[in-house]
Amino acid sequence: MPVRRPPDILPSEITDRSLYLNRRKFLVAAGVTLGTALAGGKTAPAFSALPPSMAVGESLLAAPPAFPNLRKSPLSTSEQPNSRRDVTTYNNFYEFGTDKDDPAQHAHTLVTRPWSVRIDGEVKRAQSVDVETLMRWSPAEERIYRLRCVEAWSMVIPWVGLPLAAIIKRAEPTSRAKYVEFTTLNDPKQMPGQRRGVLDWPYVEGLRLDEAMHPLSILAVGLYGDILPNQNGAPLRLVVPWKYGFKSGKSIVRIRFTEQQPATAWNKAAPDEYGFYANVNPAVDHPRWSQAKERRLGEFTKRPTLPFNGYAEQVASLYSGMDLRKFY
């Protein structure tokens, strides 16, 4: 798959956060909804009026969930994060199209509030939890992680996330639970890419339970200290930094605990190319390209790819005794 450059965005097209908040206060004080303001006095859905560049996970008038007491995690890398522009305009999110700029252009159609997640399978009690309640289950932390795509490009992203282990403990899996399956929303009206049979929708990903419980694994709810943009998987996205990016299920609506290994989207589509484990491994090439090096967005030369994306010290023991060429 060819690597595309992020689309050019003029600085004037990016709204400063302070201006955004002041504009919101003005509209609220005036008693004017966004839909009314843009529809000549007639009520209109806020999301339909927003241009793609402002699709940041909620309507303009919804109070943005700031993270004023955000914890800094010792698990973060010291590497310099990529720019917000890189992170929010260069994405793989096939539910909105297969080009890198499609998610930023089309994800404004996704409505992320209200949003609930079904937690079921091998748990003591199945339940549906709204995302606000889920976010109260554990304090959010800033996690600055490397992201390595299977397509041999990479970024560094300052996520805001909830430790996945804390969510799992609240879910109370039974002794039969060996895997965790994550399912993305399936709604072609909101996700136009699902109108094409690129994959077997809905998008499903999965982890072994011990992988999901690892301290590095998170459910992302934001980035750069702000709410998670739609194009990055709002309102809830899986992040497992030692695995290729396609393992990061986005816009999650179901977390299911299973005894058997889940059938995952890319593994079903091309099992010879995309394994269930998908650990970053420079010694195991993709059938169509090398995985030995990667292109960090913003850099001209390629850099060597590190085993487990540089997290080998923390996670290699999870795979002790496994043939990583077989279980790729």
Convert the pLDDT of each residue in 117-169 to its tens digit: 999 999 999 999 999 999 999 999 999 999 999 999 999 999 999 999 999 99
Helix ranges (DSSP H) in the chain: 17-29, 34-38, 46-49, 84-89, 102-106, 131-135, 164-171, 209-212, 265-269, 312-315
Beta-carbon contacts of 127 under 8 Å, excluding residues fewer than 6 positions away, are 118, 119, 120
Q: How far is CA 134 from the centre of its chain?
A: 16
Alpha-carbon distance of 278 to 265, in angstroms, equals 12
pLDDT of residue 27: 34
Extract the residue ranges of the chain whose pLDDT is less than 70.
1-65
pLDDT of residue 4: 42
CA distances to 101, 146, 153, 204 from 300, rounded to whole Å, are 20, 18, 11, 34
Alpha-carbon distance of 171 to 174, in angstroms, equals 9
The token duo for 11 is: 């600085």
pTM for the full predicted model = 0.82
SS3 328: coil
Each domain of the chain, given as residue ranges in start order, spans 78-319
Convert the pLDDT of each residue in 278-297 to its tens digit: 999 999 999 999 999 999 99
Helices (H) and strands (E) in the chain, counts: 10, 13
Angle 226-229-230 (CA atoms, 0-180°, nearest 5)?
155
**Homologous superfamily of domain range 78-319:** Oxidoreductase, molybdopterin-binding domain (3.90.420.10)
69 phi, psi to nearest 5 deg: -110, 40
